[in-house]
Amino acid sequence: MKVVLPFIAVVVLALLALVGVTLAHQVEFFFGVIVPYTAVAVFIFGFIYRVLQWAKSPVPFCIPTTCGQQKTLPWIKHDKLENPVTTLQVVGRMLLEVLVFRSLFRNMKTEMTDGKIVYGSEKLLWLAGLAFHWTFFFIFARHFRFFFQDVPSILSMMEGVDSFFQVGAPLFYMTDAVILGAVTFLIFRRVYLPQIRYISLASDFFPLFLIFGIALSGILMRYMFKVHIVAVKQFAMGLVSLSPIIPQGIGAIFYVHLFLICTLLIYFPFSKLMHMGGVFLSPTRNMANDSRMVRHINPWNYPVHVHTYAEYEDEFREKMKKAGLPVEKE
Amino acid sequence: MAKLPTPEELMKLNYNPPQDENWMDKPVELKPGNICWGAKGKNLKIVEFPNARDWSPVEADWKLPQDWEGTVLEAMADRLSKYRSFKIFMDICVRCGACADKCHFFIGGGDPKNMPVLRAELMRSVYRKYFTNSGKYLGKLAGARELDLGVLKEWWYYFYQCTECRRCSVFCPYGIDTAEITMMAREFTNLLGLNTDWISGPVANCYMKGNHLGLEPHAIMNSVEGMVDDIETITGIRINPSFNRKGAEILFVTPSGDLFADPGTFTAMGYMMLFHELGLDYTWSTYASEGGNFGLFTSNEMAKRLNSKIYAEAKRLGVKYIIGGECGHMWRVLNQYMDTWNGPADFMEVPKSPITGTVFDNAASTKMIHVTEFTADLIKNGKLKLDPTRNDDLVVTYHDSCNTARGMGLLEEPRYIINNVCNKFHEMPENTIRERTFCCGSGTGLNASENMELRMRGGLPRANAVKHVTEKYGVNTLANICAIDRATLSASMDYWVPGTRVAGVHELVANAMIMTGEKERETNLRGEPLPGKGGNE
């Protein structure tokens, strides 16, 4: 159920675009203009809304998870990146987390062998996660060539690197292969590994199938069902210059690709994909372990009912005196 | 009480959850040996907790208040607005599963709901139903479910099977900390009067009498007096600790467990011998006679109420700063909560060692330092005369407490001390120490006796690592800096790795420390003969 339903959903979405634009050309305006604008708006405002919602809740306590030696005596080596105390060190820790998935790199596998528990190396998830996110970013950035009249040189450079292993024309991008491989692995482990399968929800499979669909339609469009590339650029330029046009003969596969991307954009702010914003706000990672050096303020700290020393002495005064303890009141 | 299975029986583990089962469809089963007794009404009443009555988790009727669902959901909305951690951790988990096999209870038991991700999903599923649109409309498909009695019982069972050790949060790519979620679950259950006897008893004791054990002022003094006698027998030196003394330079606070039972008492003797040898101007307090804080295992407010005594007493006595003893969760509180709750401690001075002159800028605000920070500085500056051969019968390994490791980063100080007071020290495998250390299995108030199966399961990963170094290096001593460890690891070692002793770091210090004017020592602090006196063996 939780695997099949999301799969069907993505197939239906793709067919919707395909059948739609094939049957009636008028529908192109819907898929080519209304949906993209809506999707971008939902994504931007939804994303900001979610982050603001999080930010509205305060961080009452200084709760970094420390993963290295604290800063104490001058002759004990302080682990600045795993247990930061300054803002700069926190930035360093966050960069490691966001750019190379530091915490996930620690991953290992717990197994029972010969009546003993052993911890083996397990870097595949880290590798696949890293490959997936970085290629996604590369491909995303590459697409900006469609939105500039003159392609910025940084993009051309990226394309140069990406197509380093040239296998005929058009240029073959390594990232295309890597993202399909990585997403396939991420789907596969959710189905195959008993623990992961047990914890997975439909909402874990849906974005994976969706992104697979996006990548696949993009690749098909590029290498097999060639679309009219000049028309696509015309179309993209029209969208960003807020004067949308629908050029003739772009090809139905393009609308499938576009519609799946729009679905992703709309789905994004309402889903776990918001981890993209959330990771920056995670208090166990983005705080300095300086709570003994500087007082952390809790905005909702309120007075509480305590048992005072005076009450304590009142109860035990006789016993205290008998034991020779000093008392405040005789 | 449930019969404790044998180690062989407990080791029959399966880490693979059943394939075509939806965890939501599987009702919770409160297994005997894995749950604590319910709280007593009188203890809840003492601290003014709601729905105070005697209750038992094994009875069908939990005597819940009217509209308890409303109470929980209202509290959930409130905490979501107060804790960014809670809100974010409800939203951003991608269920990558990196945490799944990192929890000691999962490793020792194989119950899939002890995978941290699923423990959190027990809460998230309810969050989605009432606080997100997808959950509201798509229900189970979106991983959402309604809050009902079955869910509440499941929460109670599994959130009182999490020791807030934070190991999962080390491996999580977003730093999701199950401890934050467990803390919320415990807040909610406490609103319904659903605490355990083993937590609520110490909380009530600590509130009224100043310590978890409920030791009254004269009982504390008697206990210390007994240790003073033992010290005299061993060293020939009579020391004279003071209590509630105004004008002392330093207030010393340690968990009351150190005053009560072996092997914690040996650690307490260690502190006293050290402070005496230094001529430290310090005092104990009978009012603030607890460093630990079982309030932390009930609610934020209760933890603050108990913790308030430390600063209040420091102020009343007019001390310059505070030294804290060896304890795990005590230091989570002191490092990450105390100043925020009950500060600013501007009536004290930045701690400065009167022996070495070292200023502890790392405690510039809280004015409270860890005793191993203090002692490591002494040793580094050559202020202690040490004869580590007195510990030569001990082959030592060191267990990092969860809280000092992952809620503070106190990793090197105790190791430096051990390496200076012991000749034989071997680390456990790196995946099981420092920030990756395993819980003793009985933290957050789970160190009762009726849940021994759970404790031994949770203690397995730590014991497994100890066993490894026992076989490899002949390790026979598990050193630590935690009063709960001293009690609970003793039990789990007896069960999993018999013959392993559990010792506080300052017990080892005091064994090795040559005191001015001491007689030729015949025994260690435990009264066992010293190995080849003088160290020529």
**pLDDT tens figures, B441-496:** 999 999 999 999 999 999 999 999 999 999 999 999 999 999 999 999 999 999 99
Q: How confident is the model at residue B389 (pLDDT cuts 50, 70, 90)?
A: very high
Distance from B522 to chain A by nearest Cα, in Å? 33
**pLDDT tens figures, B76-122:** 999 999 999 999 999 999 999 999 999 999 999 999 999 999 999 99
Distance from B419 to chain A by nearest Cα, in Å? 14
- pLDDT surpassing 60 at residue B536: no
CB A103 to CB B171 under 8 A?
A: yes
Crossing angle of helices A153-162 and A124-142, in 10° steps, is 140
Distance from A13 to chain B by nearest Cα, in Å? 18
The rounded distance, in Å, linking the Cα atoms of B81 and B76 is: 9
A chain contacts of residue B340, beta-carbon cutoff 8 Å:
60-62, 291, 295-298, 301
CA triple A172-A175-A179, angle to 5 deg: 130
- pLDDT surpassing 50 at residue B530: yes
Specify the pTM. 0.95
Locate the chain B residue with the closest alpha carbon to A267: B134
- Picking from A226, A255, A232, A247, the residue whose alpha carbon sits closest to that of residue A15 is A255
Q: Kindly state whether residue A314 falls inside one of the protein's structural domains.
A: no
Q: Kindly state whether residue A67 falls inside one of the protein's structural domains.
A: yes
- Picking from A12, A32, A6, the residue whose alpha carbon sits closest to that of residue A252 is A32
CB A298 to CB B177 under 8 A?
A: no
Q: What is the CATH number of the domain that holds A202?
A: 1.20.950.20
Element (H, E) at B308: helix B300-317
Beta strands in B228-331 (DSSP E): 250-253, 282-283, 321-324
CB B100 to CB A72 under 8 A?
A: no
Residue from B13, B85, B215, B378 to probe the interface with A (highest A Cβ count within 10 Å): B85
- pLDDT surpassing 60 at residue A196: yes
- ω before A170 within 30° of 0 (cis)? yes
User: Distance between terminal CA atoms of chain B?
Assistant: 48
- pLDDT surpassing 60 at residue B339: yes
Antiparallel, parallel or unpaired: β B501-504 and B250-253: unpaired
- ω before B344 within 30° of 0 (cis)? yes
Of A156-170, A240-254, A259-273, least confident by mean pLDDT is A156-170
Locate the chain A residue with the closest alpha carbon to B92: A275
- pLDDT surpassing 60 at residue B524: yes
Of A43-52, A235-244, B343-352, least confident by mean pLDDT is A235-244
**pLDDT tens figures, B22-60:** 999 999 999 999 999 999 999 999 999 999 999 999 999
- pLDDT surpassing 90 at residue B523: yes
**pLDDT tens figures, B396-421:** 999 999 999 999 999 999 999 999 99
Residue B144, C-beta contacts closer than 8 angstroms, at least 6 positions apart: B125, B126, B128, B129, B132, B134, B135, B136, B138
Closest by Cβ to A106, choosing from B171, B243, B432:
B171
CB A76 to CB B86 under 8 A?
A: no
Per the CB < 8 A criterion, the answer to whether A106 and B170 are in contact is yes
Tokens representing A317 are 């005064």
Report CA-CA distances (Å) from B222 to B80, B234, B260, B335, B484: 47, 19, 10, 31, 22
What residue numbers bound the domain in which A167 lies?
4-304
pLDDT of res. A170: 66
Distance from A254 to chain B by nearest Cα, in Å? 29
Residue owning tokens 């071997």: B426
CB B407 to CB A300 under 8 A?
A: no
Residue from A5, A7, A63, A197 to probe the interface with B (highest B Cβ count within 10 Å): A63
CB B361 to CB A293 under 8 A?
A: yes
- Picking from B526, B456, B527, B442, the residue whose alpha carbon sits closest to that of residue B494 is B456
Locate the chain A residue with the closest alpha carbon to B91: A272
Number of domains in chain A: 1
Beta strands in A89-163 (DSSP E): 108-113, 116-121
Element (H, E) at B530: none
A chain contacts of residue B368, beta-carbon cutoff 8 Å:
292
The rounded distance, in Å, linking the Cα atoms of A187 and A79 is: 36
- The mean pLDDT value of chain A amounts to 92
Across A159-168, A246-255, B60-69, the highest mean pLDDT is recorded for B60-69
The rounded distance, in Å, linking the Cα atoms of A304 and A297 is: 16
Q: Kindly state whether residue A309 falls inside one of the protein's structural domains.
A: no
Locate the chain A residue with the closest alpha carbon to B180: A63
Between B118 and A330, the higher pLDDT residue: B118
Q: How confident is the model at residue A248 (pLDDT cuts 50, 70, 90)?
A: confident
Q: Kindly state whether residue A327 falls inside one of the protein's structural domains.
A: no
The rounded distance, in Å, linking the Cα atoms of B186 and A197 is: 28
- Picking from B384, B377, B264, B388, the residue whose alpha carbon sits closest to that of residue B326 is B264
Largest CA distance in chain B: 78
The DSSP symbol for A30 reads I
Q: Kindly state whether residue A256 falls inside one of the protein's structural domains.
A: yes
pLDDT of res. B535: 44
Residue owning tokens 């004067």: A243
Q: How confident is the model at residue B154 (pLDDT cuts 50, 70, 90)?
A: very high
pLDDT of res. A152: 81
The rounded distance, in Å, linking the Cα atoms of B119 and B114 is: 6
CB pairs under 8 A between A and B: 309
Residue from B340, B415, B420 to probe the interface with A (highest A Cβ count within 10 Å): B340
Mean pLDDT score, A309-320: 96
Cβ of B181: how many Cβ atoms within 10 Å?
Answer: 25
The rounded distance, in Å, linking the Cα atoms of B304 and B299 is: 9
Closest by Cβ to A292, choosing from B117, B304, B366:
B366
pLDDT of res. A21: 83
CB A325 to CB B217 under 8 A?
A: yes
The rounded distance, in Å, linking the Cα atoms of A277 and B169 is: 18
Tokens representing A196 are 């992961």
pLDDT of res. A167: 60
The percentage of chain B sitting over the pLDDT mark of 90, rounded to a whole number, equals: 96
Residue from A56, A104, A304 to probe the interface with B (highest B Cβ count within 10 Å): A304
A chain contacts of residue B365, beta-carbon cutoff 8 Å:
291-295
Distance from B365 to chain A by nearest Cα, in Å? 5
Distance from A313 to chain B by nearest Cα, in Å? 8
The rounded distance, in Å, linking the Cα atoms of A296 and A115 is: 47
Q: How confident is the model at residue A296 (pLDDT cuts 50, 70, 90)?
A: very high
A chain contacts of residue B240, beta-carbon cutoff 8 Å:
none
Mean pLDDT score, B143-162: 97
Collapse the DSSP code of A116 into the 3-class scheme (helix H, G, I; strand E, B; otherwise coil) and give the result.
Answer: strand
Collapse the DSSP code of A121 into the 3-class scheme (helix H, G, I; strand E, B; otherwise coil) and give the result.
Answer: strand
Closest by Cβ to B15, choosing from A195, A293, A304:
A195
The DSSP symbol for A41 reads H
Give B 101-120 residues with CB within 8 A of chain A: 101-102, 107, 112, 115, 117-118
Mean pLDDT score, A83-112: 96
The rounded distance, in Å, linking the Cα atoms of A16 and B233 is: 88
A chain contacts of residue B408, beta-carbon cutoff 8 Å:
66, 70, 289
Cβ of B521: how many Cβ atoms within 10 Å?
Answer: 18
- pLDDT surpassing 70 at residue B509: yes
Does B472 reach chain A within 8 Å, measured CB to CB? no
Locate the chain A residue with the closest alpha carbon to B15: A195
What residues does A118 pair with on adjacent strands? A111
CA triple B418-B423-B427, angle to 5 deg: 60
Residue from B16, B101, B245, B378 to probe the interface with A (highest A Cβ count within 10 Å): B101
Give B 76-95 residues with CB within 8 A of chain A: 80-88, 91-95
What residues does B397 pair with on adjacent strands? B478
Radius of gyration in angstroms for the set of CA atoms belonging to chain A, rounded to a whole number: 28
Q: How confident is the model at residue B260 (pLDDT cuts 50, 70, 90)?
A: confident
Largest CA distance in chain A: 100
Q: Kindly state whether residue A294 falls inside one of the protein's structural domains.
A: yes
Give B 304-323 residues with CB within 8 A of chain A: 304-305, 308-309, 312-313, 316
CB B406 to CB A76 under 8 A?
A: no
Distance from A29 to chain B by nearest Cα, in Å? 29
CB A274 to CB B92 under 8 A?
A: yes
Radius of gyration in angstroms for the set of CA atoms belonging to chain B, rounded to a whole number: 23
Distance from A145 to chain B by nearest Cα, in Å? 31
Residue from B164, B302, B336 to probe the interface with A (highest A Cβ count within 10 Å): B336
CB A278 to CB B88 under 8 A?
A: yes
Q: Kindly state whether residue A329 falls inside one of the protein's structural domains.
A: no
CA A106 vs. chain centroid, Å, equals 18
The DSSP symbol for B283 reads E
- pLDDT surpassing 80 at residue A164: no
The percentage of chain A sitting over the pLDDT mark of 70, rounded to a whole number, equals: 98
CB B173 to CB A129 under 8 A?
A: yes
Q: How confident is the model at residue A158 (pLDDT cuts 50, 70, 90)?
A: confident
Per the CB < 8 A criterion, the answer to whether B259 and B224 are in contact is yes
CB B360 to CB A56 under 8 A?
A: no
Go through chain B and tell me how many residues it has. Answer: 537
Residue B301, C-beta contacts closer than 8 angstroms, at least 6 positions apart: A304
Locate the chain B residue with the closest alpha carbon to A289: B408
pLDDT of res. A114: 83
Element (H, E) at B332: helix B328-336
pLDDT of res. A169: 62
Tokens representing B47 are 């601290």
**pLDDT tens figures, B172-207:** 999 999 999 999 999 999 999 999 999 999 999 999
Mean pLDDT score, A252-274: 95
Per the CB < 8 A criterion, the answer to whether A78 and B421 are in contact is no
Q: Kindly state whether residue A30 falls inside one of the protein's structural domains.
A: yes
B chain contacts of residue A281, beta-carbon cutoff 8 Å:
84, 88
What type of residue sits at position A33?
Answer: V
The DSSP symbol for A168 reads S
**Backbone CA torsion sign across B348, B352, B353, B354:** negative
- pLDDT surpassing 60 at residue A66: yes
CB B304 to CB A119 under 8 A?
A: no
ipTM, two decimals, is 0.95
Of A43-47, A175-179, B243-247, B388-392, least confident by mean pLDDT is A175-179
Mean pLDDT score, B257-279: 95
Phi and psi at A289, nearest 5°, equal -85, 65
The rounded distance, in Å, linking the Cα atoms of B355 and B275 is: 11
pLDDT of res. A48: 97
Distance from A329 to chain B by nearest Cα, in Å? 14
- The mean pLDDT value of chain B amounts to 96
Tokens representing B300 are 């934020």
